[in-house]
Structure 1
């Protein structure tokens, strides 16, 4: 008999990517014992909540979740509130919290410049050696009911500092979830959805001797890596995936009228006949 967890993952891979969230909820309803493993293993479109203390929106994922509560990066508090003893282990403090605050300020500027809207969030937590975190972006749009578009990017990182804290090793795993849909009289309905994951590792220097300089260096390094990865993945989606989809659609149905297509074929036959004389 197949392992239930493996079977669930295999089923999700075979179902439409645009319905992953709904299908995941259905599987969890059938097998509640798989909830934690599935939520930590399956990438789904991000959801948004509003911080009751700051009034700002933030993104929810498995990395800022405890049960049904989510931690806001703006207030550093869970909503709904959780047990105080549990919160001590789940809420970052000290240098990690300072870097988290600086990271959120930086990605908020990046989001406004590159996305011109949407929501961003960054979360960090301490490890035995170094720290880890996630940077999230979400942008959704609708074209007057004729179409939809959704971009969710999830950047998970691990950071290991050198003994001298003059450099650090960064490991970044990025996933982009894309969901596009169009409805019109010319194409009826068209949907393009899926996700792309890439990974990179770099050793980068940390400038300065003070703790504040080291913390600022980490935020700058993380920001540059996320920016470079997003640019790479966007170009890959545009050049490879959209280009391939365009070729497939073009092979299935020509956008030229039949009369124009027949003229092209006739001209092609005429050229071939003259070459064979």
Structure 2
């Protein structure tokens, strides 16, 4: 199981479904662990009653049906599907409304879903999902990418209230994939995933939704910076090293000129140090 998880962490997100299917065939006795721990690319389904799209994941799945956060119904229909309590459902509706505004401001479109349910420790768990298709054929408003998507999964475990405070444990995963296709540079593909965790204690008087929103906003900023440094920074460094632009290419001087320059530098340094000791 440890080797399988190490492998999945190194697999490109656009190949994770194929890799997971192969691992499930090799390790059928670990199928439940793999399905619960391996994050897969998010899928989208249309809620026929509300006319809104929602995201499919393991947190809103029951058997082969998925619960919509808009209508609170399963698609395909499921009679005995599990539903959140009235209190959790009220918080879920409010969270989806607020997260829709957050998604539009930060991502300029896309699909978002929030699911909230009780746990066994007198607290609750919430899952915030965002899927943004930035390709020309998707909902990208700029259309710079031939293909590309940003998929974020934020799972927050909220502990029971103690002395007016509650403990929040956030586990965030971001999967990024992009492909550009231009005549001068050809086809370029970059994809990867990153996961981070954060623990905080907040005053419950401010509201659970406000506290969770602060954590998600801070975490997404850190994840964007990490992706920029790890993936884009290293890729830029490799491209510039392997294919430097013409104005950066150093011209090799003739051997005679190079020797004269080295002699000049040597005598300059010698005279400088001599004058210092003098």
Q: TM-score, normalised by structure 2?
A: 0.82
Contact kept? 2:13, 2:41, Cα under 8 Å: no
Residue of structure 2 equivalent to 1:140 = 133
Whichever of the two has the greater Rg, that structure is 2
Does 2:44 align with 1:48? Answer: yes
Residue of structure 1 equivalent to 2:95 = 103
Structure 1 residues 163-182: Cα deviation after superposition (integer angstroms, max 9, x where no partner): 45x22110000011011112
Contact kept? 1:106, 1:223, Cα under 8 Å: no
C-alpha distance in structure 2 between counterparts of 1:168 and 1:242, whole Å? 37
Could you list the runs of 5+ residues in structure 2 that have no partner in the other structure?
137-142, 268-278
Residue of structure 1 equivalent to 2:167 = 169
Which structure 2 residues correspond to residues 7-26 of structure 1 after superposition, within 5 A? 8-13=4-9, 15-26=11-22
Residues 273 and 78 from structure 1, CA distance in 2 versus in 1: closer, same or farther, beyond 3 angstroms? farther
| TM superposition shift of 1:37 | 2.9
Which structure 2 residues correspond to residues 244-263 of structure 1 after superposition, within 5 A? 244-256=234-246, 261-263=249-251
| TM superposition shift of 1:266 | 3.9
Which structure 2 residues correspond to residues 123-138 of structure 1 after superposition, within 5 A? 123-128=115-120, 129-138=122-131
Q: CA RMSD in A?
A: 2.6
C-alpha distance in structure 2 between counterparts of 1:198 and 1:15, whole Å? 17
141-150 vs 52-61, which deviates more? 141-150
Q: How many aligned residue pairs are there?
A: 257
Could you list the runs of 5+ residues in structure 1 that have no partner in the other structure?
208-213
Which structure 2 residues correspond to residues 66-77 of structure 1 after superposition, within 5 A? 66-77=62-73
C-alpha distance in structure 2 between counterparts of 1:154 and 1:188, whole Å? 32
Residue of structure 1 equivalent to 2:110 = 118
C-alpha distance in structure 2 between counterparts of 1:172 and 1:146, whole Å? 31
Contact kept? 1:177, 1:194, Cα under 8 Å: yes
